[in-house]
Amino acid sequence: MIIDILTIFPNLVASPLEEGILRKARQEDLVTINAVNIRDFAADKHQVTDDRPFGGGEGMVMKPEPLALAVESRRRQGSLVILLSPQGEMFNQAVARELAGREHLILVCGRYEGVDERFRERFVEREYSIGDYILSGGELAALVVTDAVTRLVPGVLGCTDSALNDTFSRPLLKHPQYTRPARWRGMETPAVLLSGDHQEIADYRFSEAVRRTAERRPELLRRAEFSEREKKTLRNNGFTAEMALAHHEE
């Protein structure tokens, strides 16, 4: 898989690519991630990539030609051009899974007041936002997308089940986690986790995931789908997951 991040600040992107999972994926040639400097495609000696908006108004707008040339230098058959923008569709785990199946992503990082609309109409195939707040540019959003997608590429994570069981792999928050020591500052690890009974542990973790979701993100339960066995497990635990069960029994 190839991910090209088009930005006027390549150094802002470069450092995170040298750490953690992203570094491992690149070292093992599972993913190629490039920071492409849009300024290299500007026509003037000062490498200007923005200008004042027609019609007046505050701020600057990214010029269409440097953006277009940058995309054209990378685009090939199978490429998907994505603009990171607060106006885009909300990026989530389902989108990450879909993008992980692509051969080549071109992530365009917007800046200032946005990009020239003609570039967006001609070149952009998808627009994604990572949340309803304002960032200085699309670089951090592009890194979020890159990280979320890369960890789903086969072979990147040492444990295949890790990606499958993560928060948002289904519309549930992850269950509480515990590690050594079993007793810490007077607080005990739940006995079931020390029992060695794998099915009991799985049932406990599932129930706690639903409990936590009901407490913190109840809206997610509207999209949750439970098997008959899972419904029985929830009933047997008798906690505040009634709203989830009621949803499925309507």
The answer as to whether 171 is a domain residue is no
Q: Is residue 126 part of a domain?
A: yes
pTM for this one? 0.84
Segments forming the whole domain that contains residue 92: 2-159
Strands 187-188 and 79-90: unpaired
pLDDT value of position 171: 86
- 204 in the same domain as 98: no
Single out the residue of 242, 206, 238, 244 nearest to residue 225, CA to CA: 244
Predicted confidence pLDDT, tens digits, the chain (250 residues): 999 999 999 999 999 999 999 999 999 999 999 999 999 999 888 999 999 999 998 899 999 999 999 999 999 999 999 999 999 999 999 999 999 999 999 999 999 899 999 999 999 999 999 999 989 999 999 999 999 999 999 999 975 555 555 555 688 999 999 999 999 999 999 999 999 999 999 999 999 999 898 889 888 888 888 898 998 898 888 764 455 555 444 4
Q: Are residues 88 and 125 in the same domain?
A: yes
Concatenating the DSSP letter of every residue in 7-38 gives: ES-HHHHHGGGGSHHHHHHHHTTS-EEEEEEG
48/85 same-domain check: yes
Q: Are residues 11 and 123 in the same domain?
A: yes
In angstroms, the CA 135 to CA 187 distance is 40
Residue at 173 is within a domain: no
Q: CA distances (Å), 45 to each of 39, 71, 218, in order?
A: 10, 20, 55
The predicted pLDDT at position 239 comes to: 61
Q: What CATH number corresponds to the domain at position 109?
A: 3.40.1280.10
Domain count, the chain: 2
Nearest Cα neighbor of 140 from 100, 221, 86, 101 is 86
Please state the φ and ψ torsions of residue 121, each to the nearest 5 degrees.
-65, -35
Compute CA 47 distance to the chain's CA centroid, rounded to the nearest angstrom: 31
Last residue of a domain, one of 126, 143, 159: 159
Element (H or E) spanning 164, and its range?
Answer: helix 160-165
Pick the closest to residue 3 from 114, 248, 16, 66 (CA basis): 16
Last residue of a domain, one of 159, 193, 215: 159
Q: Are residues 12 and 94 in the same domain?
A: yes
Same domain, 63 and 126: yes
Instruction: Based on the fold, state whether residues 29 and 139 are members of the same structural domain.
Output: yes
As annotated, the active-site residues are 86, 113, 151, 166
Smallest Cα–Cα separation from 148: which of 25, 247, 15?
25
Domain assignment of residue 165, yes or no:
no
Domain match, 61 and 110 both: yes
Specify the CATH number for the domain of residue 208: 1.10.1270.20
d(CA 1, CA 132): 29
- Domain identity same for 114 and 209: no
